[in-house]
Structure 1
Amino acid sequence: MNNNWSINRVVALVIGVIFLLLGIIGFVTPPENSTGVIAILGIFDSDTIHNVLYVVVGLLGIASAFTGWERRFNQVFGIVFVLLAVLGIIPQLYFPAGSYGNDKGLFLGITHLNAGDHILHLITGLIAAGVGFFLKGTVRNPAPNARARRSI
C-alpha cells in the first residue's frame, strides 16, 4: 500500500468525497417544486443530471487519489470548475426560461445552478487548480528506523 500522501492526493480525495456525498444527498432529497429542483442542504439547487455529474466527479476524485492521477485530476477539475463558476453567472447561458417561481432556466439547457453552486465550484476549483499546478511535494511517513535515529 502506498503510504505517501501528497497535498494533491489529499485534495483530490477530499473533493471526491465532498462531491460524491453531495450527489448522493441530492438523490435522496425530495424535489422542492414541479420543476424537479432539489435544494441540497437548503443551499445548492440540483436535479438528476446535477446529481449524476457530482457522483461521477466524486468517484473520479476518489479514484485519482488511489491511482496516481491526483495531480492531473486537480488540474483538470480546477480549470473546469473555475470556468463553470464564471460562466454560471452569465444569465444568457440559462435556457429555456422556467415556468415555476424564480426559475431562470437550466444552465446551458442541462441543469439547475444557483449562487451556492457557483460559490462551491469557484472555491473548490481554485483550491484544486492552485494545488494541482503549484504544489507537488509529498509528505512521507518516516520509517520506524528513522524515528529511532532521530530520538538518539
Structure 2
Amino acid sequence: MIAVWTCRVLGVLFVVAGVVTFVAGDSADFAHNTVHLVSGLAALGFGFTRWARTFAVVFGGAYLTLGLAGLALGELHIGSLHLMTGDHVFHVVLGSVVLLAGLLSRARQLSR
C-alpha cells in the first residue's frame, strides 16, 4: 500500500532531519524543528498500522493547506514557528505528495 511506504519513508526522513538538526546545534527555529521531528515520529508510527492511509490524507491535507495559506499570506509567525516562502513551497509539495499517496491507497479491510 502506497500510504504505508509513504508514511515510513516520510517518517525516517523527518526523524533523521530532526535529529541531525538538533545534534548540529541549529536551534534557529527550535519549535519548527520539533514539529518536524514529532511529525516524523507520528508518520513512522502510523506507517506500521492500518491507519497509514488516514494519516496520509490528514497529514497531507494539513501540510498542503498550511503551504497554500503561507503562499497567500507571505511570511507567517504561528506562535514560535517562523515560516518563510521556502517552507511554504516545501509544505505544498510535500502535502500534495502525501495527500495523493493517501487518496490513491485502498482502505485496508479489517480481517475477521
The normalised TM-score by structure 2 is 0.82
- Residue type at the aligned position of 2:64: V
- The Cα of 1:137 is off from its aligned counterpart by 7.8
Indicate yes or no: 2:90 matched with 1:120. Answer: yes
Aligned residue pair count: 107
Matched position secondary structure for 2:82: coil
- The code of the aligned residue for 1:76 comes to V
Q: Secondary structure at the match of 2:47?
A: helix
Structure with greater proportional helix content: 2
Q: Which has the larger radius of gyration?
A: 1
Q: 1:43 maps to what in 2?
A: none
Distance 1:115 1:29, change over 3 A: farther
Distance 2:80 2:65 in 1: 16
Query: How far did residue 77 of structure 1 move?
Result: 0.6
Superposed CA RMSD: 2.0
Matched with 1:44 is: none
2:112 equivalent to 1:130? no
Equivalent position to 1:20, from 15, 18, 21: 15
5+ long unaligned stretches in structure 1: 1-5, 38-46, 95-106, 139-152
Question: In structure 2, do the counterparts of structure 1 residues 119 and 18 end up closer, same or farther at CA, with 3 Å as the change threshold?
Answer: farther
Aligned to 2:46: 64
Whole-Å separation in 1 of the counterparts to 2:35 and 2:83: 12
Matches within 5 A, 1:63-142: 63-89=45-71, 90-91=73-74, 94=76, 107-136=77-106
